[in-house]
Amino acid sequence: MPFRVSRTHHPARGHDPLVVRLTSGFRRFQQRWYHDEPVFDRLRLGQNPHALVIACSDSRVDPVLLTDSSPGDLFVVRNVANIVPPYVSGTTPRGVCSALEYAVKHLKVKDIIVLGHACCGGIHALVAGETRGGDDEFIDQWVALAGKALERARAECPESGEAELARVCELWSVRLSLTNLMTFPWVKSRAEAGLLALHGWYFDLQSGELLEYDQEKEGFSVLVGHPARHERPAPGHPSARGHGPGR
Ligand SMILES: [Zn+2]
CA atoms within 13 A on the CB side of 11: 0
- 216, pLDDT greater than 80: yes
Mean pLDDT for 181-196 is: 98
- 115, pLDDT greater than 60: yes
Q: Which residues contact 85 (CB under 8 A, 6 or more apart)?
A: 94, 96, 97, 145, 180
Secondary-structure percent of the chain, ordered helix, strand, coil, rounded to 5: 45, 15, 40
- 156 with 149: CB under 8 angstroms? no
Q: How far is CA 131 from CA 52, 74, 134, 152, in A?
A: 35, 38, 9, 20
Distance 91 CA to ligand 1 centre (A): 28
120/80 Cα distance (integer angstroms): 9
Mean pLDDT for 48-77 is: 97
| Range with the poorest average pLDDT among 2-11, 30-39, 163-172 | 2-11
To which H or E segment does residue 115 belong?
strand 111-117
Q: Tell me what the pLDDT averaged over the chain comes to.
A: 89
Q: How high is the pLDDT of residue 214?
A: 95
- Count of CB atoms situated within 10 Å of the CB of 87: 17
Distance 56 CA to ligand 1 centre (A): 5
- 242, pLDDT greater than 50: no
- 4, pLDDT greater than 90: no
- Count of CB atoms situated within 10 Å of the CB of 139: 16
Any idea which fold 48-241 has? Beta-carbonic Anhydrase; Chain A (3.40.1050)
More confident of the two residues 131 and 118: 118
Distance 122 CA to ligand 1 centre (A): 5
| Range with the poorest average pLDDT among 6-15, 77-86, 140-149, 200-209 | 6-15
Q: N- to C-terminal Cα distance for the chain?
A: 62
Instruction: Identify the band that residue 231 occupies on the pLDDT scale cut at 50, 70 and 90.
Output: low
Q: How high is the pLDDT of residue 125?
A: 95
Distance 202 CA to ligand 1 centre (A): 11
- Across 124-247, the runs of DSSP E, i.e. the strands, are 197-204, 209-214, 219-224
Q: How high is the pLDDT of residue 233?
A: 54
Distance 186 CA to ligand 1 centre (A): 27
145/45 Cα distance (integer angstroms): 37
Q: Which residues contact 61 (CB under 8 A, 6 or more apart)?
A: 55, 115, 117, 203, 205
238/109 Cα distance (integer angstroms): 30
Q: Using one digit for the tens of pLDDT, what is the confidence trace for 84-105? A: 999 998 777 789 999 999 999 9
Domain range summary for the chain, segments of one domain joined by +? 48-241
- Count of CB atoms situated within 10 Å of the CB of 58: 19
Distance 170 CA to ligand 1 centre (A): 9
- 82, pLDDT greater than 90: yes
- 2, pLDDT greater than 90: no
Distance 53 CA to ligand 1 centre (A): 14
- 240, pLDDT greater than 50: no
Distance 80 CA to ligand 1 centre (A): 6
Distance 174 CA to ligand 1 centre (A): 11
- Nearest residue to 153 (alpha-carbon basis) of 142, 143, 167, 139: 167
Distance 167 CA to ligand 1 centre (A): 11
- 164, pLDDT greater than 60: yes
Ion ligand 1 nearby residues (CB, 5 A): 56, 58, 120, 122
Distance 14 CA to ligand 1 centre (A): 32
Instruction: Identify the band that residue 236 occupies on the pLDDT scale cut at 50, 70 and 90.
Output: low
Q: Using one digit for the tens of pLDDT, what is the confidence trace for 26-40? A: 999 999 998 888 889
- 61, pLDDT greater than 70: yes
CA atoms within 13 A on the CB side of 120: 33
Sign of CA dihedral 149, 150, 154, 155: negative
Distance 41 CA to ligand 1 centre (A): 34
Mean pLDDT for 192-204 is: 98
